[in-house]
Structure 1
Amino acid sequence: MAASGNGLKWVFERGRNIMNSCLFTVLLLLDIYSKCVIGYMSSSHVGEEPAYTAQQNPVMSSPVALTATSATPVVTDNYTSKCPSGGLCTKLPAECISCTYHHNCSYGQPANFTCRTRAGVHCVNALNQPRQNFTLTVDCQFCWQLDPSQYRCSNSTSCMTVSCPRRRYNATCEVLEHVHCLGKRVFQKRLFCNWTGGYKWSTALALSITLGGFGADRFYLGQWREGLGKLFSFGGLGIWTLIDVLLIGVGYVGPADGSLYI
């Protein structure tokens, strides 16, 4: 009986130790989880447009305040050569003026912003009166939301355009100088591969029909191995030639460098 009692006591003590260990583990996991959630909520999310803060562009309520904060601007770079003098203030390029942009406006709707010409830049209003502070009307949208015709992007000559699904590349885009928008004027965008190496579809198809049995179409497209294969097999006894005419005709076979036809 004593041995049986000692065994029950050992089982009870063992179970209590296991429960304490499990409870401690659960509390530790909850503490780690709460710290992670708090840290995530207090940090900015990756991939989102950075918030527009007052430190970056302080919001002014009147031209007087703008003049008081920047009464003696200094020329820091060679931008004056791109800034016409004596023209309308609202027609100046973006690098010629400094505006107090803010994002508390309705998306896609016109909004008025207070702007000031930079040092060495002179302009007039609609009444041909010289102005240094003026109001600029801009559609409420970030630069990366502009129409593609309003910015230029770098083009990649290393990605394959002839592929399924179509491939994309990271492009660096810059807003045109006379287009005004909110946020950064240089931004990143994912674009479809869209470049050409100068190969003409009509030339490739004509070669495939006339000299395809000798691999001329494949040689023209830069596919030397396939061209040699067609040359020494006499176009696969004509079968390969007919298939290539169809494949080039529908655009399935393209330049070896992955570019588009012109």
Structure 2
Amino acid sequence: MGTNCQSWRPDRGRCVKSHGVTMLLLLDVLLQCVSGYLSSPHEAPYPPGSHPGALISSPVAPAAVSALPRGEESYIAKCPSGSLCSRLPSSCMYCHYHLNCTYGKPTAFVCKPKMGVHCLAESGKQPANFSLSVPCEYCWQLEPSQYTCTNSTECMTVACPRRRYNASCEVYDHVHCLGRRVFNKRLFCNWTGGYKWSTALALSVTLGGFGADRFYLGQWREGLGKLFSFGGLGIWTLIDVLLIGVGYVGPADGSLYI
């Protein structure tokens, strides 16, 4: 026989407490079930657009497409197709350079075109390897007209002794040489800011007493000094004509005259 909470007043509190504990346990189990359902992934039993009787076949891989490795496509546009292999740019071929040669003398080296480059030999056929005549000298020993270098605008060109800077140089693509095609070299400061020597000399001769030559060269302090001293009573003017004429006084930014 069940316990009646209304008939037994002394046990009424105990009965309410037991019912409350039971309700809390049931509520906790219900919350766990709901939480587990919401957190579980819900996926359709079959892929979209299919039905229970359909078979899912394995994906078919597309046919492999022959492609050049990444980074190798850049030289293809520079490589003429169907030309002589010996006239290809250096970026279009691999050459086996050796040091068993006499400096400055033309030496035959074995080369082959890079992948994707089509060239012809003297016979009109496409060879796997070909011979290339290259002067026996390193890239940094080439004439300055055969490579290009970075130009520094932070060094003074008008200085005694002349100043140098570290330049990064790269050989032109049509030039062949031994060693690395990119190298560092110490060069004289030779940049220009656009100032003309003839203009500076003309201003020094005609308006030098008012400091026009110094103002043109960007030397504002000297220009103001000549302006308020009337060219140093003519003495400073004559000295500047001589200094600008021989190139001793140059632009304030340290560049060369045009």
- Indicate whether the TM-score tops 0.5: yes
Aligned match of 2:217: 221
Structure-2 separation of matches of 1:253 and 1:203: 13
The structure 2 residue matched to 1:177, chosen from 170, 173, 176, is 173
Among 238, 241, 255, the alignment partner of 1:242 is: 238
- The match for 2:81 is 85
Structure 2 unaligned segments of length 5 or more: list them: 1-65
Match of 2:205 in 1: 209
Asked whether the equivalents of residues 199 and 255 of structure 1 are also in contact (C-alpha less than 8 Å), the reply is yes
Question: Contact between 1:105 and 1:111, CA under 8 Å: does it hold in 2?
Answer: yes
- 1:237, distance to aligned residue in structure 2 (A): 1.2
Query: Are 2:155 and 1:159 aligned?
Result: yes
* Cα distance between partner residues in 2 of 1:253 and 1:96: 49
Which of 103, 128, 136 matches 2:124?
128
Alignment partner of 1:100 is 2:96: yes
The alpha carbon displacement at 1:238 in A equals: 1.1
- For residues 68 and 132 of structure 2, the distance between their equivalents in structure 1, rounded to whole angstroms, comes to 22
**Distance in 2 of aligned mates of 1:101 and 1:249:** 51
What letter corresponds to residue 187 of structure 1 in structure 2?
F
- The list of structure 1 runs, each at least 4 consecutive aligned residues, that deviate by more than 3 angstroms after superposition, is 72-76
1:254 counterpart residue number: 250
Structure 2 Cα separation of the partners of residues 150 and 224 of structure 1 = 41
Mapped partners of 1:110, 1:246: distance in 2: 50
Distance 1:203 1:181 in 2: 43
Of 222, 226, 230, the match for 2:226: 230
Identity %: 73
Normalised to the residue count of structure 1, the TM-score between the two structures is 0.70
CA offset at residue 74 of structure 1? 4.8
For the pair shown, the structure with the greater C-alpha radius of gyration is 2
CA distance in 1, matches of 2:234, 2:106: 65
| C-alpha distance in structure 1 between counterparts of 2:78 and 2:205, whole Å | 54
Matches within 5 A, 1:56-95: 74-76=68-70, 77=72, 78-95=74-91
Tell me, what secondary structure is at the counterpart of 1:202?
helix
Specify the SS of the correspondent of 1:131: coil
Distance 1:177 1:255 in 2: 36
* 2:144 partner letter: P
TM-superposed deviation, 1:147: 1.2
**What secondary structure does 1:138 align onto?**
strand
Aligned length: 191
Structure 2 distance, partners of 1:153, 1:100, is: 26
Amino acid at match of 1:199: Y
Look up the equivalent residue of 1:215 and give its one-letter code.
G
Higher helix share: 1
Normalised by the length of structure 2, the TM-score is 0.71
Partners of 1:84 and 1:92 within 8 A in 2 = yes
Aligned-residue offset at 1:73: 10
1:132 CA displacement: 3.0
**CA distance in 2: counterparts of 1:91 and 1:161, whole angstroms:** 39
